[in-house]
Structure 1
Amino acid sequence: METIQIVLLAFVQGITEFLPISSSGHLILTPLLFGYELQSLAFDVALHLGTLAAVMLYFRREIVTMTIAVLQSLRTRRFDAPDARLGWMIILATLPVVLLGLPLKSVLEVLRDDPTLVALVVAATSIGFGLLLWWADFSGKRARDEYSLGWKAALFVGVMQAIAIIPGTSRSGITITAALMLGLTRKAASRFSFLLAIPTIIMAGGLETLDLLQAGEPVDWMSLLLGAALSFVFAYLTIHYFLKFIERISMLPFVIYRILLGAVILMLVW
């Protein structure tokens, strides 16, 4: 891979993984727009590992605190402590991906073989789920934090997350949308979405790694390391500044971007 291609894809992954604009859709569209061949599965894995490291580093204190609280709740059989409750809700919200991930993954594999169909799907989901994000942000009460979620709410967010395997949907976008529908503040919805990304990316990366090992393709380790390192930097900065400013800027800029992106794709395809 050319260095500029590695930097471009790492930037796209690092920025879009945690913004509500779809990383999978952008990773598919970027090589099409710039005339590159679709990047290898190994490179996709490396990019996701970079963003995983970023979100785990950013929320390292929360991860340690929740892990300890969850383990203590198992020992004491008391699950009402806020950190333990949040940890269990993240585990619960991950279950729909476990159950629905593999069936929905086959949809993505079929789409990757048809660039035109991919573009149309990304356009439709960018616009459709962008409008849903706007509605949730506009109509949501924005009065709760992530510690207030119950098991029904966690499952609802988890089911919505499973849909995000369809390109253009955006994992962060659909989970933030669901959390806003439940009355969370923008920052709380984003924090829950980012914490939920950790087990999700670990599972997705594990499945992709198994596919990679079974394929037995040659690996360009320098490209993978550079891509992972750059996506880590871009993702960490994105998380930091997104959470810092989201209460002030609202979701509207991302909604507008999604609608414009979908419109441009439709014009290019047709």
Structure 2
Amino acid sequence: MSIFEAIVLGIVQGLTEFLPVSSSGHLELAKAILGDTSMAEESMMMTVVLHFATALSTVVVFRKDILEILKGLFQFKWNEQTQFSLKIVLSMIPAALVGVFLNDQIEKFFGGAILLVGCMLLLTAVLLILADRAKNTEKNVGYKEAIIIGIAQAIAILPGISRSGATISTSVLLGIDRSKSARFSFLMVVPLIFGKIAKDILDGAFSSSFEVVPMAVGFVTAFVTGIIACTWMISLVKKAKLMWFSVWCAVVGSIAIIYTLIN
């Protein structure tokens, strides 16, 4: 993978992570367009590195929220911060189980499965349409809702299903306020990404066989782009009609399917 390709992938990840359009799906499409010939395992590793970069972007943007949660936890009381943290933990369980027990199977989907990406983008489009028609309320995320949203996040591991789109849409369909849905959606993924990186390091996944420089360049690009995009686009996700994102997913998904069928 060249430096240019790493920069392009970093920009794609940074821009699409915070919109309900599937960053992993767009990464796979970008890899295909760039002619990426890396092995599925290495392709998956690059995806994880870029997601780690945008997870750090999320930490930077939500630093006040995270510090408030940590302060509340160290009070060792059954307060609002402790309850919110428990809900985050509950939401992590489905994706963590999938990552631990189905990791090898998941890696196979990150090796240029463009037809799958196209179909999953169409599924994301349907989810966003349903969420767009749901009534907005001021309901908070409960424990049961946290688990259901977590299941949506686990399914969204598949490239083409937007993680934020699936979790925000699920939240909204459960009657949760869109602003609170977006906040929970962006914060719930941070521990998972950090856990994934820690597991890969312990397993020796980042060995010398991987191209360090392109990954480092992609990481920095995704991190910087992610901070800019997160700051600007979180407000957009909260206020804008999800229908527009649905249209984008439907168009890109259809193009991906047609491209696969004619080649």
**TM-score, normalised by the number of residues in structure 2:** 0.89
Distance 1:215 1:4 in 2: 21
Corresponding residue of 1:218: 209
Aligned-residue offset at 1:91: 1.5
Q: Deviations over 1:135-170 (max 9, x none)?
A: 02212x22126xx22110111111111111111112
Corresponding residue of 1:144: 138
* Gapped regions of structure 1 (runs ≥ 5): none
Does the Cα contact within 8 Å between 1:176 and 1:193 map onto a contact in 2? yes
Q: Deviations over 1:2-57 (max 9, x none)?
A: 23212101011112222111122222221211223246555334322311211111
Q: Deviations over 1:152-189 (max 9, x none)?
A: 01111111111111111121111111111122232221
Corresponding residue of 2:85: 87
Q: Deviations over 1:115-142 (max 9, x none)?
A: 4xx2121111110122112102212x22
| CA distance 1:125–1:239, change in 2 (3 Å) | same
Structure 1 residues 119-198: aligned runs within 5 Å: 119-139=114-134, 141-144=135-138, 148-198=140-190
| CA distance 1:229–1:110, change in 2 (3 Å) | closer
Corresponding residue of 1:266: 257
| CA distance 1:267–1:220, change in 2 (3 Å) | closer
Determine helix, strand or coil for the equivalent of 1:144.
Answer: coil
Corresponding residue of 1:43: 46
Distance 1:254 1:60 in 2: 27
Does the Cα contact within 8 Å between 1:104 and 1:165 map onto a contact in 2? no
Choose which of 60, 68, 72 in structure 2 pairs with 1:69: 72
Corresponding residue of 1:4: 4
Name the stretch that deviates more: 178-187 or 252-261: 178-187
| CA distance 1:265–1:255, change in 2 (3 Å) | same
Aligned length: 258
Q: Percent identity?
A: 29
**TM-score, normalised by the number of residues in structure 1:** 0.87
Amino acid at match of 1:35: G
| CA distance 1:105–1:170, change in 2 (3 Å) | farther
Aligned-residue offset at 1:214: 4.6
* Gapped regions of structure 2 (runs ≥ 5): none
Distance 1:167 1:247 in 2: 23
| CA distance 1:121–1:42, change in 2 (3 Å) | closer
Asked if 1:29 is matched to 2:29, the reply is: yes
Determine helix, strand or coil for the equivalent of 2:227.
Answer: helix
Aligned-residue offset at 1:70: 2.4
Amino acid at match of 2:233: F
Name the stretch that deviates more: 198-207 or 259-268: 198-207
Determine helix, strand or coil for the equivalent of 2:133.
Answer: helix
Distance 1:194 1:32 in 2: 27
Corresponding residue of 2:232: 241
| CA distance 1:56–1:8, change in 2 (3 Å) | same
Amino acid at match of 1:268: Y
Amino acid at match of 1:205: I
Distance 1:50 1:215 in 2: 15
Amino acid at match of 1:125: M
Determine helix, strand or coil for the equivalent of 1:36.
Answer: coil
Does the Cα contact within 8 Å between 2:92 and 2:192 map onto a contact in 1? yes
Q: Deviations over 1:184-216 (max 9, x none)?
A: 2322211111001111211222334345x2573
Distance 2:46 2:116 in 1: 23
Note the aligned Cα RMSD (angstroms): 2.1
Aligned-residue offset at 1:108: 2.0
